[in-house]
Amino acid sequence: TQLLEQSPQFLSIQEGENLTVYCNSSSVFSSLQWYRQEPGEGPVLLVTVVTGGEVKKLKRLTFQFGDARKDSSLHITAAQPGDTGLYLCAGAEYSSASKIIFGSGTRLSIRP
């Protein structure tokens, strides 16, 4: 079974600061997704990256898929309190693309 490790586990920063969350694995994934989960709700998809080296931007969020398709990063510029939540990376296994496994998550708190 492929494993995904996220770092850091917890992050508390001041509004306006920048941050980066990392998602790493020793295995190759066919695609990688990022989700955000808020209390009392299920995770909600932010982005999917498919091609090695791919970079996608979603307003102040920048997502990158590693060249070798084993890792990904999420960078938030000028964080806002509304960015607070649990960020999860998820990879589609090569052997079965419909099996999506999740990283342990990064709990982000933005202080006003």
Partner 1 sequence: KAGVTQTPRYLIKTRGQQVTLSCSPISGHRSVSWYQQTPGQGLQFLFEYFSETQRNKGNFPGRFSGRQFSNSRSEMNVSTLELGDSALYLCASSKNRGSGAGANVLTFGAGSRLTVL
- Of 43, 62, 108, nearest to 81 by C-alpha is 108
Binding residue for partner 1, selected from 52, 99, 109, 111, defined by CB under 8 A: 99
Whether residue 13 contacts residue 79, with contact meaning beta carbons closer than 8 Å, is answered with: yes
Does 66 bind partner 1 (CB under 8 A)? Our answer is: no
**β-pairing verdict for 106-111 and 85-93:** antiparallel
* Residue closer to partner 1, measured from CB, 10 or 14: 10
1 touching partner 1, by CB under 8 A: yes
Nearest distance, CB of residue 112 and partner 1, angstroms: 26
Q: Which range of residues in 14-22, 69-77, 97-105 is near partner 1 by CB under 8 A?
A: 97-105
Q: Does 50 bind partner 1 (CB under 8 A)?
A: yes
Distances (CA, A) of 30 to 45, 61, 91: 17, 22, 7
Helix (H) or strand (E) holding 24: strand 19-24
Q: Can residue 39 be called a binding residue for partner 1 (CB under 8 A)?
A: no
Nearest residue to 28 via CA among 82, 93, 80, 81: 93
Please report whether residue 85 would count as binding partner 1 according to CB under 8 A. Answer: no
| Interface contacts to partner 1, rule CB under 8 A | 1, 31, 33, 35, 40-45, 48-50, 88, 90, 92, 96-105
